[in-house]
A and B are shown apart, each in its own frame.
Chain A
């Protein structure tokens, strides 16, 4: 039901779609807050029959007409029983959603092309268990259902596909349930206003890093004369004699030995040095270089036009650099 609706919305011209979105936004906000933390109140829960619900309604219609026409008492009883089960399921679907508390929406940055794992923290405070709560973003696939125990919390998860680097607004999320019978879908909108940073996709085949003036040629990853550093997956271009055959057999993939020098090199990656024409490609390549440098334990810096950072090493530094790549205009 919902997927049909949203797919037809997507086919509208962009202007109409945006206008509708704005109108919906206003309409929703007039009914109550939609930023977490919020409790889904009476006026914020919507409900409509699903496709299956419409089918049952049609079936009931036929049964009612037939039974009425022949004054078939048992047929009428069956019809009414099914109708009342349907109405009850409408009531239950509504109650299943109403009163749930949406505590927060969490996202973590990902590389472009990876799916953002959106975590929606839900809390149950009304003292009755809620089954089958599903979150989804219009235009993307359903998340997995969660069951909330009475007076407990749970995390609903939703995968959000990414294509381009940059900042991706999570947007309005639809929290829905079709319990108990699948005849009705009750849903509510939550707009966390959260955005997620999407880092550039690391280039698959990056050109070899250009060594800047600040770096000495010897500061590249060490050779066999150096200290053994660890193993990493084998990549094309690695010398064959570096393959750690025994370890590879244990791990079912080719591993290459890595060596470093105790005294690490210092590199500064600069956007204008990247041998590519397209900005996105260059950012991609930079991303790969940074990751490789971090993995190899080098100290690296980054210069993106006005934005600069001194060579450093470590997780926070990596995050800072990747964020800068994502945010680069």
Chain B
């Protein structure tokens, strides 16, 4: 092609790319972001300084440099984050040689693709705004490129189409395309089950709980205010103190880290019957890229494609890569494992050798005071926690080899993980089988929409001890120290602990916003094959089948066409005449036309006046306006002040009909 990209076109292509890549740039390592920004900056500067494209060797070198940086950052090109980072980097190096129209088109088109890849990571509501903005910019870029190709160049030698008209044109196109896109969204047949799964290596589990617990790890979650999941209950929700959302259950302790054991992966010997008092609820879990589902004790019915372990953990078959709804029924009063097999007893009593001597001594002491009564022993420990100088705080010191000793006898300040871990060590030394349960506790009750919002900052760890005749029983040592943590959430347990905690209005605002997000999740993101089918069924279209649904879709689009036509007419009508006099006068005519006699196409203002004025009370005003209009419009060139006065009078004027 003989034509090069114009300067304003380059600016729009760069803007489209930058906006499309924006959320990716925030997520990838900083030096990759710098690489991408450098590419954009170079191309921008080149346009205004008139730099020529760099030589072939430089371009190839830069491309391989980008490739190397991505590999250095991720160790692989496999995986969504690495792949999108690679796409960003490659497009940035493409910018170096983006001089021809086709290069510009390539970048603009892949900007659309870049937008779509972002939704592999997050589909939050606010991204809709970004989606529209990015698509708009890319459309402007494509429009400009086509203008560069086709615009008359006689004389000036460069395309000089007005920028504002392309911006408006792109907006109009978006506006016209959106209704059709929405119809497709609702009616396009969805897949009931995926054609292929995402290999687990491609994931980069990033949010939420991991399936092991090193003391001090959950603290990072307390800062994370993002939603973990939302729950809607059938019937009354249980009291807050019962909202223990059970996640990974940890058995093995190596002195620092609690981990799961694979022995418990087998199914439970018996599952609860659904009786009175059963809790029925639906959880919408945000993508975590792990396989854990969270439920209240003890899940009796769980969704398909999910395994339940001996410890009543729910494990999905595939990682959660999208917002996933699931239904659970839980039975709170259930005796879990009335008889404990020796294998599990040993697992639940196992401790590393030669650690925590003071804890061991204290446990032996307790055992002597309560030789047979485990419950009393536990009660004594909780009383000690409650009455002794124990504090709940996020500011803690790291623990050494004898972590439990240090915590119980020296530090005595910590949060749930510290208490759960130390408590478990103490119990095991006392010969009581104990395990650590991680998950979430509590949540924020959105009263208006009746759902419970559980944030990552609600992450919690507690214990379960095995008692004769009562099976595994929940004990939360943290609640003994800081009951408010359990009753009012992590926020309230730490008054003034940090900036984000104290900003109450911001917290409220976020909660309000989450209600929108919840609706969005339910009605838009959660719209899958099932939802689609039930929607169609509600419309009485259950027997359609795939072909029928496709036909319905086409029909709906055809029906929508007249609407689009009307919208287009509206947009075209909005294309305003440059003459302010005509615009002002048209407004007068429109106001009259709504109720009075509108002017016919062949009528002049003067001819129309008698008919129009006849219906009015304030006819004299109209006649004066009309007279003035004709004098200004067809008389000698009017003064600006006169035009302004006339426009102002037209704006004020309202017809008063008889």
Interface residues of A (CB under 8 A from B): 52, 55-56, 59, 62-63, 65-85, 87-89, 92, 128, 131-134, 144-147, 177-182
Q: A70-B322, A82-B135, A177-B150 are in contact. Are A75 and B116 (CB under 8 A)?
A: yes
Given contacts A68-B190, A69-B196, A84-B177, 7 further A-B contacts (CB under 8 A): A71-B528, A77-B185, A78-B131, A88-B180, A131-B151, A144-B154, A145-B152
B190 with A182: CB separation less than 8 A: no
B184 with A131: CB separation less than 8 A: no
CA distance A52 to B107 in the complex (A): 12
Interface residues of B (CB under 8 A from A): 102, 105, 109-110, 112-113, 115-116, 119-120, 123, 127-128, 131, 135, 139, 142-143, 145-147, 149-154, 161, 169, 173-174, 176-178, 180-182, 184-185, 188, 190-191, 194-196, 198, 321-322, 524-529, 572
A69 with B195: CB separation less than 8 A: yes
Closest to A86 in B: B177
B154 with A71: CB separation less than 8 A: no
A85 with B150: CB separation less than 8 A: no
CA distance A25 to B293 in the complex (A): 68
Contact of B529 among A71, A128, A131 (CB under 8 A): A71
Q: A59-B113, A71-B528, A75-B116 are in contact. Are A83 and B150 (CB under 8 A)?
A: no
Contact of B176 among A66, A82, A83, A88 (CB under 8 A): A88
B146 with A181: CB separation less than 8 A: yes
A75 with B120: CB separation less than 8 A: yes
Q: A144-B154, A177-B150 are in contact. Are A72 and B322 (CB under 8 A)?
A: yes
- Would you mind naming 17 contact pairs between A and B with Cβ atoms under 8 Å apart? A56-B109, A63-B116, A67-B119, A70-B120, A72-B120, A73-B119, A78-B116, A80-B185, A85-B135, A85-B139, A89-B173, A131-B147, A131-B151, A132-B147, A145-B153, A178-B150, A180-B173
- If over half of B's interface residues share one DSSP class (helix, strand or loop), that class is named, otherwise mixed; here it is helix
A88 with B177: CB separation less than 8 A: yes
A85 with B194: CB separation less than 8 A: no
B102 with A52: CB separation less than 8 A: yes
Query: Lowest 7 CB-CB distances: which A-B pairs, in order?
Result: A132-B150, A145-B150, A84-B177, A74-B119, A80-B181, A80-B184, A84-B180
Q: Cβ of B112: which chain A residues have Cβ within 8 Å of it?
A: 59, 78, 82
Closest to A157 in B: B154
A71 with B139: CB separation less than 8 A: no
A145 with B151: CB separation less than 8 A: yes
Q: A52-B105, A69-B194, A131-B147 are in contact. Are A81 and B113 (CB under 8 A)?
A: no
Q: A68-B190, A77-B131 are in contact. Are A182 and B177 (CB under 8 A)?
A: no
Q: Cβ of A92: which chain B residues have Cβ within 8 Å of it?
A: 173
CA distance A17 to B153 in the complex (A): 34
A78 with B135: CB separation less than 8 A: yes
CA distance A146 to B123 in the complex (A): 44
Q: Cβ of A131: which chain B residues have Cβ within 8 Å of it?
A: 147, 150-151, 161
Q: Cβ of B113: which chain A residues have Cβ within 8 Å of it?
A: 59, 62-63
Q: A77-B131, A85-B174, A178-B149 are in contact. Are A70 and B123 (CB under 8 A)?
A: no
B146 with A81: CB separation less than 8 A: no
Task: Tell me, rounded to whole Å, the shortest Cβ–Cβ distance linking A133 to chain B.
Answer: 8
B143 with A181: CB separation less than 8 A: yes
CA distance A70 to B572 in the complex (A): 39
Q: Cβ of A71: which chain B residues have Cβ within 8 Å of it?
A: 190-191, 194, 322, 528-529
Closest to A147 in B: B152
Q: Cβ of B182: which chain A residues have Cβ within 8 Å of it?
A: 80
Task: Tell me, rounded to whole Å, the shortest Cβ–Cβ distance linking B90 to chain A.
Answer: 15
Q: Cβ of A59: which chain B residues have Cβ within 8 Å of it?
A: 109-110, 112-113
Q: Cβ of A63: which chain B residues have Cβ within 8 Å of it?
A: 113, 116
Closest to A128 in B: B572
B109 with A52: CB separation less than 8 A: yes
Q: Cβ of A70: which chain B residues have Cβ within 8 Å of it?
A: 120, 194, 198, 321-322
Contact of A76 among B110, B188, B194, B526 (CB under 8 A): B188
CA distance A81 to B128 in the complex (A): 12
Q: Cβ of B322: which chain A residues have Cβ within 8 Å of it?
A: 70-72
CA distance A100 to B145 in the complex (A): 23
Task: Tell me, rounded to whole Å, the shortest Cβ–Cβ distance linking B191 to chain A.
Answer: 5
CA distance A81 to B115 in the complex (A): 12
CA distance A76 to B185 in the complex (A): 7
Q: Cβ of B525: which chain A residues have Cβ within 8 Å of it?
A: 73-74
B184 with A180: CB separation less than 8 A: no
Q: Cβ of B123: which chain A residues have Cβ within 8 Å of it?
A: 72-74
Q: A75-B119, A79-B116, A145-B149 are in contact. Are A182 and B105 (CB under 8 A)?
A: yes
Contact of A84 among B142, B184, B528 (CB under 8 A): B184
Q: Cβ of B572: which chain A residues have Cβ within 8 Å of it?
A: 128
B150 with A179: CB separation less than 8 A: yes
Closest to A92 in B: B173
CA distance A312 to B377 in the complex (A): 133
Closest to A67 in B: B116
Q: Cβ of A66: which chain B residues have Cβ within 8 Å of it?
A: 116
Task: Tell me, rounded to whole Å, the shortest Cβ–Cβ distance linking B129 to chain A.
Answer: 12
Q: A68-B190, A71-B190 are in contact. Are A146 and B152 (CB under 8 A)?
A: yes
Q: Cβ of A180: which chain B residues have Cβ within 8 Å of it?
A: 142-143, 146, 169, 173
CA distance A128 to B572 in the complex (A): 9
Task: Tell me, rounded to whole Å, the shortest Cβ–Cβ distance linking B299 to chain A.
Answer: 24
CA distance A255 to B174 in the complex (A): 62
Task: Tell me, rounded to whole Å, the shortest Cβ–Cβ distance linking B164 to chain A.
Answer: 15
B181 with A81: CB separation less than 8 A: yes
A179 with B131: CB separation less than 8 A: no
Q: Cβ of A68: which chain B residues have Cβ within 8 Å of it?
A: 190-191
B105 with A87: CB separation less than 8 A: no
Q: Cβ of B185: which chain A residues have Cβ within 8 Å of it?
A: 73, 76-77, 80
A144 with B139: CB separation less than 8 A: no
Closest to A71 in B: B528
Q: Cβ of B109: which chain A residues have Cβ within 8 Å of it?
A: 52, 55-56, 59
A80 with B150: CB separation less than 8 A: no
Task: Tell me, rounded to whole Å, the shortest Cβ–Cβ distance linking A174 to chain B.
Answer: 14
CA distance A78 to B146 in the complex (A): 22
CA distance A62 to B117 in the complex (A): 11
Task: Tell me, rounded to whole Å, the shortest Cβ–Cβ distance linking B175 to chain A.
Answer: 10
Task: Tell me, rounded to whole Å, the shortest Cβ–Cβ distance linking B156 to chain A.
Answer: 12
Task: Tell me, rounded to whole Å, the shortest Cβ–Cβ distance linking A266 to chain B.
Answer: 44
Q: Cβ of A85: which chain B residues have Cβ within 8 Å of it?
A: 135, 139, 173-174, 177
Q: Cβ of A132: which chain B residues have Cβ within 8 Å of it?
A: 146-147, 149-151
Contact of A81 among B147, B153, B177, B529 (CB under 8 A): B177
A83 with B151: CB separation less than 8 A: no
CA distance A63 to B151 in the complex (A): 32
Q: Cβ of B529: which chain A residues have Cβ within 8 Å of it?
A: 71
CA distance A147 to B147 in the complex (A): 10
A87 with B116: CB separation less than 8 A: no
Closest to B526 in A: A73
Q: Cβ of A62: which chain B residues have Cβ within 8 Å of it?
A: 113
